């Protein structure tokens, strides 16, 4: 039952976010922020597929232990693509609110993203191992969490200042995604049921994508 339910959820999620992303790219009518948002959704879905597809195969066949390397590789790729996702979201913010300058903020965002990707690439993570160290899971997520915090703050402030109804909850979707993700990083190995928080985390990302899709439909079509 778990295998069927989780696999169905993952398939619906992947097809939905990638389809929405492609739709936004095709229907953006030259509006850069929506084209970028579409690519952001495609990166999100494609990156997650590298982890979720092997996981679905594992659950429906011989179990997770038989797919340790594939799952680790998928998690590695997803960690990088999620970082790229937030870089694209930062650029969406700049385009939507017509931000000029802010070189220090941009440098901080790219520094945190670069540090996150660098930490993900180090062999100490032991991505392909069944006993990957928790400490490195924490190290690589410190700059990622700080990057998320920056994105939360800029969207919260800009949406309030500009009275942007379409994006008024964008900050909350990101906050929720990190709120559900961090306990998984810290405690899922010791308490496997905590891993179930990845479901509402995924739903928060779907909400993020739907905000962009809804705004495109209302503002540009």
pTM over 0.85: yes
- Under DSSP, is residue 197 helix (H, G, I), strand (E, B) or coil? helix
Judge whether residue 159 has pLDDT over 80. yes
Tens of pLDDT, residues 92-140: 999 999 999 889 999 999 999 999 999 999 999 999 988 888 899 899 9
Q: What is the model's pLDDT at position 220? A: 66
Cα angle for residues 221, 204, 36 (degrees, 5° grid)? 40
Nearest residue to 37 via CA among 78, 92, 74: 92
Q: What is the model's pLDDT at position 40? A: 95
Range 31-49 average pLDDT: 93
pLDDT grade for 78, boundaries at 50, 70 and 90: very high
Q: What is the model's pLDDT at position 221? A: 53
Do the Cβ atoms of 109 and 115 come closer than 8 Å? no
CATH number of 2-220: 1.20.1070.10
197, with CB counted inside 10 A (0-12, 13-18, 19+), is: middle
Distance CA 69, CA 129 (A): 7
Distance CA 207, CA 115 (A): 27
Terminal Cα distance for the chain, rounded: 42
Q: What is the model's pLDDT at position 191? A: 75
> What CA–CA distances, in Å, run from 166 to 21, 88, 210?
17, 18, 10
Average per-residue pLDDT for the chain: 90
């Amino acid at each position: 039952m778990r295998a069927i339910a989780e696999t169905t959820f993952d398939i619906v999620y992947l097809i939905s976010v990638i389809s929405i992303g492609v739709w936004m790219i095709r229907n953006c009518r030259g509006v850069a922020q929506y084209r970028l948002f579409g690519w952001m959704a495609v990166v999100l879905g494609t990156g997650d597929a590298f982890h979720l597809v092997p996981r679905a195969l594992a659950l429906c066949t011989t179990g997770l232990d038989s797919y340790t390397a594939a799952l680790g590789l998928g998690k590695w790729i997803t960690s990088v693509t999620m970082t790229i996702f937030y870089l694209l979201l930062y650029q969406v913010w700049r385009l939507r609110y017509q931000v000029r300058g802010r070189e220090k903020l941009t440098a901080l965002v790219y520094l945190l993203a670069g540090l996150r990707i660098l930490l993900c690439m180090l062999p100490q993570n032991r991505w392909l191992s069944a006993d990957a160290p928790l400490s490195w899971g924490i190290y690589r997520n410190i700059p990622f969490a700080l990057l998320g915090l920056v994105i939360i703050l800029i969207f919260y402030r800009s949406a309030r200042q500009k009275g942007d109804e379409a994006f008024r909850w964008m900050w909350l979707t990101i906050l929720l995604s990190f709120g559900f993700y961090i306990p998984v990083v810290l405690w899922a190995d010791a308490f496997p049921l905590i891993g179930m928080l990845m479901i509402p985390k995924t739903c928060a990302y779907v909400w993020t994508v739907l905000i962009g899709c809804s705004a495109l439909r209302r503002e540009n079509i």
